[in-house]
Structure 1
């Protein structure tokens, strides 16, 4: 049961955003900028980073949501997402993405500089400054989003199919346009 009385019965961050549209707007804009705006990382890769950080933070709603959003945009689909969430070290992803996931894990772990070793490995695997910037910002932002969702003890969807429907909306309409729509 959520720690606050919500004006709706929507799960996870969707319920919080519907309850407070004044904060939902900036949070949706940030998610759109991080996960959908032009970048050297594909949207599916950015969603995968968000899902991975959310898994590390034990935030099931965000991990499942962004995992579904990544799966909808990556050739490997849900199988690839599951492999990354289980063990990015052995998942069938590029060395560049694997190294960026390692950078994201360091950001998730503590508010301190990412290690020189992780940055050097990412660069050796082909990551550029934009890749590193975006990965760090996605990881940092998802620590905030995860704490928002978990800190207020939001509910999980009653049906796991919710995530697939949400993925269709997000891929088509983005976070401002798709996250608050109901099926």
Structure 2
């Protein structure tokens, strides 16, 4: 049961954004900047980081949505995403991605958990300072998104295909034009 009445039946963050539309645009713009804008990490890799952090935080809505987007953007699809989430098995991805996912997991536990050694390991695996920066920022932002969704007990959709439909829309249009955005 949701902690507050948001006045709509939309699941997860979508319902919260419809409740407070003045916050939807900045949150969607941030998601687009972090996950969709041009950058050194692919869209799929960035979505995988978001999904990995969300899964570690136990946020079913964000895990489901970002896993579906990552699966559409990554070679190996959902089986590759599930290996990372369920087994912490980074094989099939470049060593750099495993090192960055390790950093993302540390950020999820707490920013001060990131160590000189974890950063050195990422650099040794080929990660640039920009990729390390972006990983930390994605992980930190998704801790916020996860806590927003779960802190208000936003409901999940009862339609099993809803995450796939949301992912199709994100891949085609991004987050700023998504179902929770005011400027859709």
Q: Same fold (TM over 0.5)?
A: yes
Contact 2:11–2:157, Cα closer than 8 Å, also in 1? yes
| Number of residue pairs aligned between Structure 1 and Structure 2 | 181
Corresponding residue of 1:92: 92
2:25 maps to 1:11: no
Contact 1:172–1:178, Cα closer than 8 Å, also in 2? no
Q: Distance in 2 between matches of 1:113 and 1:56?
A: 15
Corresponding residue of 1:163: 163
Q: What's the secondary structure of 1:80's corresponding residue?
A: helix
Q: TM-score, normalised by structure 1?
A: 0.95
Corresponding residue of 1:26: 26
Corresponding residue of 2:152: 152
Contact 1:88–1:98, Cα closer than 8 Å, also in 2? no
Q: Which runs of 5+ in 1 are unaligned?
A: none
Corresponding residue of 1:53: 53
Contact 1:99–1:118, Cα closer than 8 Å, also in 2? yes
Q: What's the secondary structure of 2:37's corresponding residue?
A: coil
Q: Which runs of 5+ in 2 are unaligned?
A: none
Which digits, 9 at most, give the CA deviation of each residue in 1:115-154, with x for residues without a partner? 1111011001100011001000000000000000000001
- Alpha carbons of structure 1 residues 31 and 78: separation in structure 2 relative to 1, 3 Å: same
Corresponding residue of 1:134: 134
Larger RCO: 1 or 2 (CA < 8 Å, sep 6+): 2
Which digits, 9 at most, give the CA deviation of each residue in 1:51-104, with x for residues without a partner? 000001000110111000100111111111100101234542110000000000
Contact 1:32–1:175, Cα closer than 8 Å, also in 2? yes
Q: Which runs of 4+ in 1 moved over 4 A?
A: none
Corresponding residue of 1:44: 44
Contact 2:29–2:175, Cα closer than 8 Å, also in 1? yes
Q: Distance in 2 between matches of 1:180 and 1:102?
A: 31
CA drift at 1:113 = 5.6
Corresponding residue of 2:72: 72
Q: Distance in 2 between matches of 1:132 and 1:143?
A: 17
Q: TM-score, normalised by structure 2?
A: 0.95
Mapping of residues 96-135 of structure 1, within 5 Å: 96-112=96-112, 114-135=114-135
Q: Distance in 2 between matches of 1:2 and 1:145?
A: 16
